[in-house]
Amino acid sequence: MAFRLTSDRPRLPRRHPGGLQPALPLGPGGRRRRTMRRSAAVLPAMFTLGNALCGFMAIFMASSTGLVTPLPFDWSPLTFAAAFIFLGMVFDALDGRIARLTHSTSDLGVQLDSMADMVSFGVAPAFIAVQLVLGQLAAAGSRLVPFLGASGKVDTYFGRLALIVALIYVACAALRLARFNLEVKSPNVSDHMHFKGLPSPGAAGTVASLVLLHEHILRHPTSVAWASQGAAVVMVVVMLLVAFAMVSRLRYVHVMNRYVRGRAPFTTLAKFVVVGLLLSISLQWSLAAGFVIYALTAPASEAYRRVMGRKPAVPPRGSGQDGPSDLDPPANRHVG
């Protein structure tokens, strides 16, 4: 009679090359939920990549100013370039909100968003501005590259100034985005009611709106030569100011979180209606005036406070007005 030896030790689960074998395979419902989570994570990243591609298209259109191919709507290449900047702003505003709705946020999404912003709101506006100035100078007979003119010839000081200002703008945009990623404290929307420094989309929108205005004046049948030249000079000066505003500590109101998010009072609704009617009168002038006024609100408030001798109001702890901000808090943006 044979006896089988047994052991009191519990049996361990079998191991396979990937680690412990799962007890039960995922059913159809588990696979469906996992697929839905992956789809939800991809959607915000697609919007962020759309922002980056808009920046590339803006650079491409700005570099095509010498083409003679007629474009749709009779727009100039610089007009299309500025329009792609605004389209990138739409993608940038939507990706974070989609990430919050789908609960698909991650640090990878933060870095992807910053790189897309650097292309669309840092490099592209500066390149468009330089192309506008060089085109203006070429129309006046000067076709020399700033600082790299042909031997024996001198390029214009305005072309050099525009290139230097564009370089300053790109550097300030990079510093602005890097500082924001380091300073953010909380993903709560209540902690992001103000900006510290002009946000990069606001700076890019200011430059792009002035480019649209310049092209509108240039193509207007009743415009004079000095009007387009003056618009180019104003654009370069404003671009330098918004570059410094990006790296400043001035407080800018977060328009979307403060006035659009949630329920708004009747007076706020009336203001948006008035703004919409003004845009319908003259889109180019209204956009330029709106972005320039927004860029000047924080310096004007700071100057008024210093002249009047008032101390800056310190919001109570947890009131949502003391944290750094950008168009969307990084932790609330998206997964890459």
Question: What is the structure's pLDDT at 70?
Answer: 83
Question: What is the structure's pLDDT at 329?
Answer: 46
Q: Which residues of the chain have pLDDT under 50?
A: 3, 5, 7, 15-24, 36, 152, 190-191, 316-332, 334-336
| 3-class SS string, the chain | CCCCCCCCCCCCCCEECCEECCCCCCCHHHHHHHHHHHHHHHHHHHHHHHHHHHHHHHHHHHCCCCCCCCCHHHCCHHHHHHHHHHHHHHHHHHHHHHHHHHCCCCHHHHHHHHHHHHHHHHHHHHHHHHHHHHHHHHHCCCCCCCCCCCCCCCCCHHHHHHHHHHHHHHHHHHHHHHHHHHHCCCCCHHHCCEEECCCHHHHHHHHHHHHHHHHHHHHCCCCCHHHHHHHHHHHHHHHHHHHHHHCCCCEEECHHHHHHCCCCCHHHHHHHHHHHHHHHHCHHHHHHHHHHHHHHHHHHHHHHHHHHCCCCCCCCCCCCCCCCCCCCCHHHCCCC
Question: What is the structure's pLDDT at 91?
Answer: 95
Report the alpha-carbon angle 320-322-324, nearest 5: 100
Question: What is the structure's pLDDT at 20?
Answer: 45
| pLDDT tens per residue across span 106-151 | 777 788 999 999 999 999 999 999 999 998 888 777 767 787 765 5
* Residues 283, 288, 289, 293, Cα dihedral to 10°: 140
Question: What is the structure's pLDDT at 131?
Answer: 94
Question: What is the structure's pLDDT at 332?
Answer: 47
Question: What is the structure's pLDDT at 336?
Answer: 42
* Domain residue extents for the chain: 41-309+327-332
| pLDDT tens per residue across span 184-236 | 655 555 445 567 889 999 999 999 999 999 999 988 767 677 888 889 999 99
Question: What is the structure's pLDDT at 255?
Answer: 65
Question: What is the structure's pLDDT at 87?
Answer: 97
